C-alpha cells in the first residue's frame, strides 16, 4: 500500500484525536474475468491490487463516533444507538452499515474515532466501497477484540452494502479485498465463498487499467435490474442459480422469456465457462489465449448483458487493433469505470500514449491509465 497514504492517515489521526489506534490497509480489487457471476453462485477470478483504503481507528472518550474522510475533507459524527441508512449518504453509509450489521449479530460496538483515505479513483470500478467496508470491520475487530474470522467479516461488509448502500452485490468484491494474495488471483467459488489462489506469471506483459472517467450514475439501478432478470430465469428453470444451468436447459425455456432476458442469462452461463477456461490458460502460461478470452468476455458483456458503454467499447476496440495489446475487456458493474488490458511491458508507455490520444480525439475528454500489481488483502498496517 502507498506509504505516503499510510503516513497521511496516521498523522491526521494524531492531529484530530491523539492516542492509540489500529492502522488498517484494505485493497481495492480488479476482476480478471467473471463479471456479474458472483450473485449467480458462479465463478470469478478477482485479485487485490496495490491501491486501496488506509484507515486508523481508535477508542473514543465521547459518546459519539467521529469519522473523518480525508479525500472529501468531511467529518461525520453519529451515535451507535440510532443508526439508520442516510439518503444520499455516500461514504457514511458504508461505515454506519458495518456498525449496524455488527449490532445485528449481537455485537455491541463502543464509540470510536476514524480517519481514512484512499488512492482508488472514484468511479473506476475498483471496489472502493468493499475496501472501506472491510477496513472498518477489520479495524473494529482488532480494536475491540471481537474475534470474528475473516469469513464472517466479509459477510458483514456485504450486508452493509445491501442494506445501507442499496446495492445487492455478490461476495466477490469483499472476498477479493479481504483474502487477496500477492502475485495471485483468486478462483472464487461464490456459492461456498471459498477460493483457490492462482499464481499468475505475466512474463513479458503488464496489467494496465484505463479509466474511462465515465460516471457510474446508472450502475445501482441497472445492477439490481440484471440481478432480478437472473433470479427470474433461475426460477423458471427451477434451478438454485444460473451457475447450475447449461445452454441446452436455457434454450428449452426460450419461448417463455424475452430475447433480452435470454441473452442476459446466456451471458452468465457462458461467463462461468470462460472463467474456468481462463484459469486453465493461466496455469499453462498461455497468455495469448487468456487475452482472447478477455476479448470474448467483453463481447458478451457489451452485446448480451448490455452493461458496457461507448467509451468502454472504444477502449477495447483500440486494444484489439494495437500490436502491443493481447487482451482487454470492460471490468466491474458496468456503464463506465475501467478496462483491464494485457500489454507488453516494454511498450506500456507507447500503448497508453496511443490509446489516450485516440480516446481524446473521439470523446474530447481524457481517460486515466493505471499500472497495477496484484497485492495482499486487508491487514494491519505498519506506519
Q: What is the pLDDT of residues 31-60, one digit of tens each?
A: 999 999 989 999 999 999 999 999 999 999
Residue that is written with C-alpha cell 473514543 in the block = 60
Q: What Cα–Cα distance (Å) separates residue 139 from each residue in 21, 58, 72, 216, 251?
A: 9, 9, 21, 28, 48
Centre a 10 Å sphere on the Cβ of residue 203 and count the other Cβ atoms it contains.
Answer: 10
Predicted local distance difference test score (pLDDT) of residue 18: 82
pLDDT value at 346 more than 80: yes
Q: DSSP letter at 374?
A: B
Query: How many Cα atoms sit within 13 Å of 76 on the Cβ side?
Result: 20
Predicted local distance difference test score (pLDDT) of residue 219: 66
Query: Residue 333 — very low, low, confident or very high, per pLDDT cuts 50/70/90?
Result: confident
Residue 326, SS3? strand
Angle CA(13)–CA(17)–CA(19) in degrees, nearest 5?
A: 90
368 within 8 A of 352, measured Cβ to Cβ: no
Nearest to 222 by CA among 127, 313, 134, 301: 301
Measured distance CA(64)–CA(149) in Å, rounded: 27
Q: In what order do the strands lie in the sheet with 205-211?
A: 325-330, 338-344, 205-211, 368-371
Query: Residue 117 — very low, low, confident or very high, per pLDDT cuts 50/70/90?
Result: very high
pLDDT tens, residue by residue, 142-161:
999 999 999 999 999 999 99
Predicted local distance difference test score (pLDDT) of residue 171: 86
The number of angstroms, rounded, from the C-alpha of 321 to the middle of its chain's C-alpha atoms is 28
Catalytic residues: 173
Predicted local distance difference test score (pLDDT) of residue 216: 60
Query: Where are the domains positioned within the chain?
Result: 3-199+375-380
pLDDT tens, residue by residue, 239-294:
999 999 999 999 999 999 999 999 999 999 999 999 999 999 999 999 999 999 99
**Residues paired with residue 194 on neighbouring β-strands, in sequence order:** 189
- Span 169-176, average pLDDT: 88
109 within 8 A of 140, measured Cβ to Cβ: yes
Judge residue 92's burial from the number of C-beta atoms within 10 Å of its C-beta, 0-12 exposed, 13-18 middle, 19 or more buried.
middle
94 within 8 A of 132, measured Cβ to Cβ: yes
Which class would CATH give 3-199+375-380? Answer: alpha beta
185 within 8 A of 173, measured Cβ to Cβ: no
pLDDT tens, residue by residue, 191-223:
998 999 999 999 999 999 999 998 765 567 788
109 within 8 A of 160, measured Cβ to Cβ: no
Average pLDDT of the residues of the chain = 94
DSSP per-residue letters across 87-112: TT-THHHHHHHHHHHHHHTT-----E
Residue 336, SS3? coil
250 within 8 A of 266, measured Cβ to Cβ: yes
Residues sharing a CB contact under 8 Å with residue 235, sequence separation 6 or more, in sequence order: none
pLDDT tens, residue by residue, 47-105:
999 999 999 999 999 999 999 999 999 999 999 998 988 888 889 999 999 999 999 99
Residue that is written with C-alpha cell 461505515 in the block = 95
Measured distance CA(326)–CA(344) in Å, rounded: 8
pLDDT value at 362 more than 90: yes
Nearest to 382 by CA among 20, 10, 69: 10
Predicted local distance difference test score (pLDDT) of residue 125: 74
The number of angstroms, rounded, from the C-alpha of 137 to the middle of its chain's C-alpha atoms is 17
Amino acid at each position: 500500500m502507498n506509504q505516503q497514504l499510510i503516513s497521511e492517515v496516521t498523522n491526521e489521526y494524531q492531529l484530530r484525536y491523539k492516542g492509540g489506534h489500529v492502522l488498517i490497509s484494505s485493497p481495492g480489487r480488479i476482476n480478471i474475468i467473471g463479471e456479474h457471476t458472483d450473485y449467480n453462485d458462479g465463478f470469478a477470478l478477482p485479485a487485490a491490487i496495490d491501491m486501496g483504503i488506509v484507515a486508523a481507528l481508535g477508542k473514543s472518550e465521547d459518546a459519539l463516533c467521529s469519522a473523518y474522510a480525508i479525500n472529501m475533507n468531511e467529518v461525520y459524527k453519529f451515535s451507535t444507538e440510532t443508526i439508520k441508512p442516510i439518503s444520499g449518504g455516500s461514504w457514511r453509509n458504508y461505515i454506519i452499515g458495518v456498525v449496524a450489521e455488527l449490532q445485528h449479530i449481537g455485537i455491541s460496538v463502543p464509540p470510536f474515532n476514524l480517519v481514512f483515505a484512499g488512492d482508488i479513483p472514484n468511479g473506476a470500478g475498483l471496489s472502493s466501497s468493499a475496501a472501506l467496508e472491510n477496513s472498518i470491520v477489520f479495524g473494529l475487530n482488532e480494536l475491540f477484540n471481537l474475534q470474528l474470522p475473516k469469513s464472517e467479516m466479509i459477510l458483514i461488509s456485504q450486508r452493509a452494502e445491501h442494506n445501507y448502500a442499496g446495492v445487492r452485490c455478490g461476495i466477490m468484491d469483499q472476498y477479493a479485498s479481504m483474502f487477496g494474495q500477492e502475485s495471485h488471483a483468486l478462483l472464487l467459488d461464490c456459492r461456498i465463498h471459498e477460493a483457490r489462489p492462482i499464481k499468475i506469471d505475466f512474463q513479458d506483459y503488464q496489467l494496465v487499467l484505463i479509466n474511462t472517467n465515465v460516471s457510474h450514475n446508472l450502475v445501482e439501478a441497472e445492477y439490481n435490474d440484471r440481478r432480478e432478470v437472473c433470479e427470474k430465469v433461475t426460477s423458471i428453470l427451477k434451478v438454485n442459480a444460473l451457475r447450475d444451468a447449461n445452454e441446452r436447459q436455457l434454450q428449452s425455456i426460450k419461448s417463455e422469456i424475452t430475447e433480452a432476458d435470454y441473452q442476459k442469462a446466456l451471458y452468465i452461463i457462458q461467463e462461468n465457462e470462460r472463467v474456468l477456461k481462463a484459469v486453465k490458460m493461466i496455469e499453462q502460461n498461455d497468455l495469448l489465449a487468456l487475452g482472447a478470452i478477455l476479448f470474448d468476455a467483453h463481447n458478451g458483456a457489451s452485446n448480451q448483458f448490455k452493461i458496457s458503454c461507448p467509451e468502454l467499447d472504444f477502449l477495447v476496440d483500440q486494444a484489439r487493433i494495437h500490436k502491443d495489446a493481447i487482451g482487454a475487456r470492460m471490468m466491474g458493474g458496468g456503464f463506465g469505470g475501467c478496462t483491464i488490458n494485457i500489454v507488453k511491458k516494454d511498450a506500456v508507455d507507447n500503448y497508453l500514449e496511443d490509446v489516450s490520444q485516440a480516446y481524446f480525439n473521439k470523446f474530447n475528454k481524457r481517460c486515466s491509465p493505471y499500472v497495477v500489481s496484484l497485492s495482499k488483502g486487508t491487514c494491519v498496517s505498519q506506519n
